[in-house]
Every structure is written in C-alpha cells, then in structure tokens.
C-alpha cells in the first residue's frame, strides 16, 4: 500500500521556493493500477519522484506499507521516459544492472525477463542498435529484474508512434496482471490513462492538485479500447481536464 497524505513538493528555498505539488492525497493498494493525468509541466513527475523516494516532500507524508518513505526502496521500481539505458552496456547488462551492482534483489534473472518481453534474441546488442520501442522494453526489463511490489512509470511511451505505443501498453497490461504489482502511471495521454488506470487522478495546472478521480472499473482487457466504456471514460477524462 502506498499512502500519500497532503504532500507538497517545492524546489528552491524560502521566498524563492517554487511549488510543484500542492497538498495531494491518494492511495494505491497492492495490485491496483492508478493513472495520473494532467497538463504538461503541472507537477506530475515531481509527485511521482516523491513517491519513488527521490524527492523529499516539503510537507505531508508518503508511506509504504505503513512505513514512512524517506529514501528509494528496492521494492519500488521507476521507469523513466527515456528508459535511462547505459549506452556502453548491452541489453543483457542493462536489464541485469541491479544484480551487476551487487544489490540483494530476489534472483529473477535478466534472461527470464528478456525472454518474457521478447528481447532474448537481442540481449547482446547495445542501445544504439535498438529501436525506440525496444529501448523502452529494456527499461521495463531492468525494472522487473528487481521483482518490485510497486511500479512507477513516468510517461514511459512519450514520443512513440501510435501502433508501437499501443503494443507496449498491451505489454504493460499483461505484466501488471501477471506480476500483480501496484502500478502508478504518469501520462498526458488521455487514452493511455483510460486503458491502464483502474482509477485516474486528474491533476490541475501547476502546482498540481487532485481535481477529480475517475473510476474505470471496466479496464483490464486487451480489447478494452474498442468498447463503449473506454470511450466514455476517455470523454470523462477530457471533460475533467478542460474544467
């Protein structure tokens, strides 16, 4: 369980401080999927980085399973927009980075994860030899190799073409179901939020506040994009963003 209570995130000090997140409260249960959507630059990523333990809130608290979050924790994985791959390491080495660094994670081997993501045949290639879609999947493989209980995603599919984006969204859905981690996705894409979020928190312009939480109980199937429920959820999100 992730519990966020009245969290404030600021950059700078005292009179010069700029507020990015203003009193956000939310919770994510084990195995639940939450999408956060809002305008570009509204503070979505700042909130996610605080949930990852990378940014310390200026106010409020964040707890994981009842324990206050003060630093990054091994059960929380973060996937960034650019995948963050090391260009001098192979796909295998990037995916297996946590183990190569000597961290005591459960021994989920990179080989099993790469095979699961359809990357086994390119494990000896370098990032420069991969398509953008493959790079994003390697980033996912690296996160999965730590066997996380919580998966945080910061606009992981930005700049991808529509078909590639939808294929990887389908992959995220399958992984979420199979591994049963809590998923928090930050995105500015209405359809992505509707496809991957059981609940969708709609954020205001900066500093970010929760404007509305849209329930999306029908999500969870690969053909959900073709349903009336999906179209209705997307329309509700669009209306909430415009208010």
Per residue in 41-93, pLDDT (tens digit) is: 899 999 999 999 999 999 999 999 889 999 988 889 999 887 778 899 898 88
Is the CB of residue 141 less than 8 Å from the CB of residue 175?
A: no
| Cα–Cα separations (whole angstroms), residue 171 to 14, 18, 132, 195 | 44, 37, 15, 12
Residue 100: how many other CB atoms lie within 10 Å:
13
Tokens of 32: 């639940």
> How are the residues of the chain apportioned to helix, strand and coil, as percentages rounded to the nearest 5?
35, 25, 40
Q: For residue 222, name the pLDDT band (cuts at 50, 70, 90).
A: confident
Q: How many residues does the chain have?
A: 243
Q: For the chain, which residues make up each domain, given as ranges?
A: 1-72+182-215+227-236
Is the CB of residue 90 less than 8 Å from the CB of residue 53?
A: no
Residue pointed to by tokens 């939020």: 193
* pLDDT value at residue 100: 55
Tell the burial category of 14 from Cβ atoms under 10 Å away from its Cβ (0-12, 13-18, 19+).
exposed
| Cα–Cα separations (whole angstroms), residue 161 to 14, 58, 68, 133, 169 | 42, 37, 39, 9, 12
Q: For residue 232, name the pLDDT band (cuts at 50, 70, 90).
A: very high
* pLDDT value at residue 92: 85
* pLDDT value at residue 13: 79
Separation CA 165–CA 15 (nearest Å)? 42
Q: What is the pTM of this model?
A: 0.90
pLDDT above 80: residue 236: yes
Under DSSP, is residue 180 helix (H, G, I), strand (E, B) or coil?
coil
88-136 pLDDT tens trace: 989 888 888 765 554 444 445 567 778 878 888 888 999 999 988 888 8
Separation CA 128–CA 88 (nearest Å)? 9
* pLDDT value at residue 95: 82
DSSP letter for 147, please.
Answer: -
Tokens of 59: 């106010």
* pLDDT value at residue 105: 44
| Cα–Cα separations (whole angstroms), residue 27 to 14, 183, 192, 228 | 29, 11, 20, 28
The CATH code of domain 1-72+182-215+227-236 reads: 3.40.50.300
- % pLDDT > 90, the chain: 56
Is the CB of residue 187 less than 8 Å from the CB of residue 36?
A: yes
């Amino acid at each position: 369980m992730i519990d966020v209570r009245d969290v404030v995130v600021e950059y700078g000090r005292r009179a010069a401080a700029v507020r990015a997140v203003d009193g956000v409260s939310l919770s994510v249960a084990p195995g639940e999927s939450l999408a956060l959507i809002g305008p570009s630059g509204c503070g979505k990523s700042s909130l996610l980085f605080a949930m990852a333990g990378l940014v310390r809130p200026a106010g409020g608290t964040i707890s994981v399973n009842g324990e206050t979050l003060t630093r990054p924790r091994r059960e929380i994985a973060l996937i960034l927009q650019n995948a963050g791959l090391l260009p001098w390491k192979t796909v295998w080495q990037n995916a297996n980075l946590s183990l190569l660094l000597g961290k005591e994670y459960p021994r989920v081997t990179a080989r099993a994860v790469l095979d699961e993501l359809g990357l086994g045949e390119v494990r000896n290639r370098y990032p420069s030899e991969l398509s953008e879609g493959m790079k994003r999947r390697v980033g996912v493989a690296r996160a999965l190799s730590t066997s996380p209980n919580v998966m945080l995603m910061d606009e992981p599919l930005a700049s991808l073409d529509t078909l590639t984006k939808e294929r990887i969204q389908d992959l995220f859905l399958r992984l979420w179901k199979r591994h049963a981690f809590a998923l928090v996705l930050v995105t500015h894409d209405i359809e992505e939020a509707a496809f991957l979020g059981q609940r969708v928190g709609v954020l205001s312009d900066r500093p970010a506040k929760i404007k509305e939480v849209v329930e999306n109980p029908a999500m969870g199937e690969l053909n959900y994009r073709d349903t009336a429920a999906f179209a209705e959820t997307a329309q509700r999100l669009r209306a909430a963003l415009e208010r």
